[in-house]
Structure 1
């Protein structure tokens, strides 16, 4: 069999495995019987499908990932709290003393905001309601809250007023949140208006840092993407896919993995 034929056969087998999983067939042995290969081959196939983000592994088998569903701010705040705290600790080293930073909406950026309250003197431009309420307590922190429309789930400000304000400012570092970081497509969000406000923030910054826990790295079923630029930095945690981290680095993106 030629290499091209072998690749087609592998893709066809992978597609068949995904269909079987969707139909409720689970367990390595059962899957191996249905597609006509060995159990060890199925395990390798499942591992690859997991790396590609098409499935999630379970004990003894796998399941197909659901399509992306945007969570509310409160629900997101309950997830991966230790990872977000570790990311915030690592990102703190990238905050310039006495500088000006943009801080995105979202719970990982809020974890960084908690560390910036006593970090002044510092100017923080933010589109996150919770971050602004927290940072205004800092005696030496100047807070600029963007105008715009409030997204009900993320509590982030978007729209022409938000981007117009950003276009009048410059910042030393833009700290961006993300619903996904895909090495192929970039930073993913549910809506184009969210990716656009991030794109404008990035264009006004000397440095760009994306804060994303390991669950965010990899393919996702999102509609709007902001391509990553070489020399941007992604700060993530130790649960991140090794393959995704290596791909990002190969494309020139700096990746810092927090403990």
Structure 2
């Protein structure tokens, strides 16, 4: 049976939206002015034909991949520099000795600003961060092992979880694909979300470094954050929980 013109046009619109990343069923329905049951049926049939990939509560376009780290480094560069500069305030004082630096394009900028902090121990899962800090006058660097993401160059998986469960840091600086005051940090995979949740549990304080474009994004998985976590965007610091 041929798909009706209206249905075909709607599914073309759905696919166009999903090419920007993961969307929830509710958000697609609101954007396209139709019911959630209609969107759910469309997604089911589009998944069967291989056009989309279903996620928890939504979908993404088949073949969609997160932009590589090098490309993301250039996006919102001024905002990321501002965020990294403000983040330095959380490293002031003698009580901060051990920090965690997440993989990501904004945390790399913070790493550049602490290259000569030989009073710090930095735990990281980011390859670029470890290389940037590993020099004679820099911090002590501890690299977390695991499976390396081809996009973020960060480690995840069982080996990473094992190591993160055995450390404690004064401050954890986390990146994110999405940020929500209620849900916490959003990531494209459950492994990434689990990694963020684990380190947040092992930190005395949690500081999220993410520009404001990360607000309101739809993602596949969320990592809850502990009460009192701080989100620094280009407009300043915001405490949540």
**Length-normalised TM-score, structure 1:** 0.65
Size of the alignment, in residue pairs?
Answer: 186
**What is the SS of the residue equivalent to 1:125?**
strand
Task: Check the 8 A contact 1:192/1:223 in 2, yes or no.
Answer: yes
1:54 deviation in Å?
Answer: 5.8
Alpha-carbon RMSD: 2.7
Distance 2:207 2:147 in 1: 24
Moved over 4 A (4+): 66-69
Task: Check the 8 A contact 1:117/1:138 in 2, yes or no.
Answer: no
1:232 deviation in Å?
Answer: 0.5
| 2:109 counterpart residue number | 111
1:230 deviation in Å?
Answer: 2.3
Pairing 1:124–2:122 present: yes
Distance 1:78 1:140 in 2: 25
Pairing 1:236–2:208 present: no
1:229 deviation in Å?
Answer: 2.9
Alignment of 1:33-52 (within 5 A): none
- 2:199 aligned residue (198, 201, 205): 201
Task: Check the 8 A contact 1:181/1:217 in 2, yes or no.
Answer: yes
Distance 2:155 2:70 in 1: 17
Task: Check the 8 A contact 2:200/2:225 in 1, yes or no.
Answer: no
| 2:38 counterpart residue number | none
Structure 1 gap ranges (5+): 1-18, 24-48, 56-65, 254-259
- 2:139 aligned residue (138, 141, 146): 141
- CA deviations on 1:201-257 (whole Å, 9 max, x unpaired) are 111110011100111112x2211101233200001113x9xxxx9xx75xx44xxxx
Distance 1:150 1:196 in 2: 15
